[in-house]
Amino acid sequence: MAPLFLVTGATGNTGRPVVAGLLAEGYRVRALTRAPERAALPAEVEVVAGDVTRPADVAAAAQGATAAYLIWPGTDEAATGVGEVVDALSRHIGRVVYLSATGAEEAGIWGAVERVIRNSVPEWTFLRVTGLAVNALAWADQAHRGVVRAPFGQMRRSLVHEHDVAAVAVRALVDEGHVGRSYVITGPEAISQADQVRVIADEIGQTAVWEEQPPDEARLALAADVGDDFADAILQAWSENADTPEAVSGDVAHVLGRPALTFRQWARDHRTDFVAGQDDGES
């Protein structure tokens, strides 16, 4: 019988392609999700109800699995329970691939989770992602209207296609040679936000331009969503990226044996999502 892999966050941006990649190679997949009735995963996936922040749910889902793809909620408040969850996971599973973030070695929730995994799980791999290109879908409605208005248009980010994240995760789950590695997962280029909009417009057959938004104005909108402190931290990071481009790593190419997918390829792959976002009036 083929090995069984546990995928948390299986209905998310990277989780779905991890599930697809494992199935394509003939492995069995168990997906942990809070809403199985809405999961819409392939029929051969074993979908179980549960919350990744609850140790009992994770322990039950981990039984019989070979390894796990772990996505942990990205809030500092959630860090308090990670020790119990990872301990529950490690009682059944010896290998964990964790979706982390660049800068995890310095501070924040990602670093806290990494430390717990290092101390509890025999075999681990960390995928330190700069940023997912899929977040650009937030511009869908504006792109169709012809103007995308946001701050720091010259901020250059090495955004990564979620399929590359998933492909590296699959290799780390099933292959030897990735244990104890912390991969920096980026796209193949650092592309400015203004150029991202141009590429998106090209791929969806529209004309769209970047309109620079004053940071103070952007902060008001951010603070309403995430609070003052997090809004300030986000704007500080964006400001730093405007002066210094995000680094481009060769880790995706090293693991997969091919170049990382470009932002243009990502926009092409998501053309219908931009159309759907515009038709539904979503931002």
Domain boundaries, the chain: 4-129, 131-160+186-246+262-283
| Entry pTM | 0.92
The SS3 assignment for 1 reads coil
* 3-class SS letters over 205-241: CCCCEEEECCHHHHHHHHHHHHCHHHHHHHHHHHHHH
Residue appearing with tokens 């511009």? 139
Q: For residues 96 and 113, what is the distance between their CA atoms, to the nearest angstrom?
A: 12
DSSP 157: E
Contacts of 121 (CB under 8 A, 6+ apart): 86, 89, 90, 93, 94, 95, 96
Distances in whole angstroms, Cα of residue 104 to Cα of each of 28, 108, 127, 174, 182:
31, 7, 10, 24, 10
Residue appearing with tokens 């979908």? 47
Q: What is the pLDDT along the chain (283 residues), one digit of tens a residue?
A: 999 999 999 999 999 999 999 999 999 999 999 999 999 999 999 999 999 999 999 999 999 999 999 999 865 555 678 999 999 999 999 999 999 999 877 667 888 899 999 999 999 999 999 999 999 999 999 998 999 999 999 999 999 999 999 999 999 999 999 999 999 999 999 999 999 999 999 999 999 999 999 999 999 988 888 788 888 888 888 888 888 999 999 999 999 999 999 999 999 999 999 876 554 332 2
What is the helix (H) or strand (E) element at residue 112, kind and residue range?
helix 108-120
DSSP 242: H
The answer to whether 110 and 82 have CB atoms below 8 angstroms apart is no
The tokens describing 133, both together, are 């290109």
Angle at 56 between CA 53 and CA 60, to 5 degrees: 110
Terminal Cα-to-Cα distance of the chain (whole angstroms) = 45
Q: For residues 264 and 133, what is the distance between their CA atoms, to the nearest angstrom?
A: 10
pLDDT attached to residue 79: 66
pLDDT attached to residue 281: 34
The answer to whether 96 and 34 have CB atoms below 8 angstroms apart is no
Give how far the C-alpha of residue 14 lies from the chain's centroid of Cα atoms, to the nearest Å: 6
The tokens describing 85, both together, are 């969850």
| Identity at 161, one-letter amino acid code | H
pLDDT attached to residue 277: 52
Which CATH number applies to 131-160+186-246+262-283?
3.40.50.720
pLDDT attached to residue 76: 55
pLDDT attached to residue 227: 86
Q: Phi and psi for 171 in degrees, rounded to 5?
A: -60, -40
| Identity at 8, one-letter amino acid code | T
Q: For residues 186 and 246, what is the distance between their CA atoms, to the nearest angstrom?
A: 9
One fold for both 4-129 and 131-160+186-246+262-283? yes
Residue appearing with tokens 């292959």? 175
The answer to whether 182 and 96 have CB atoms below 8 angstroms apart is no
pLDDT attached to residue 225: 82
pLDDT attached to residue 209: 94
pLDDT attached to residue 238: 83
What is 4-129's CATH superfamily? NAD(P)-binding Rossmann-like Domain (3.40.50.720)
Ramachandran category for residue 205: left, alpha or beta (phi over 0 → left; psi -120 to 50 → alpha): left
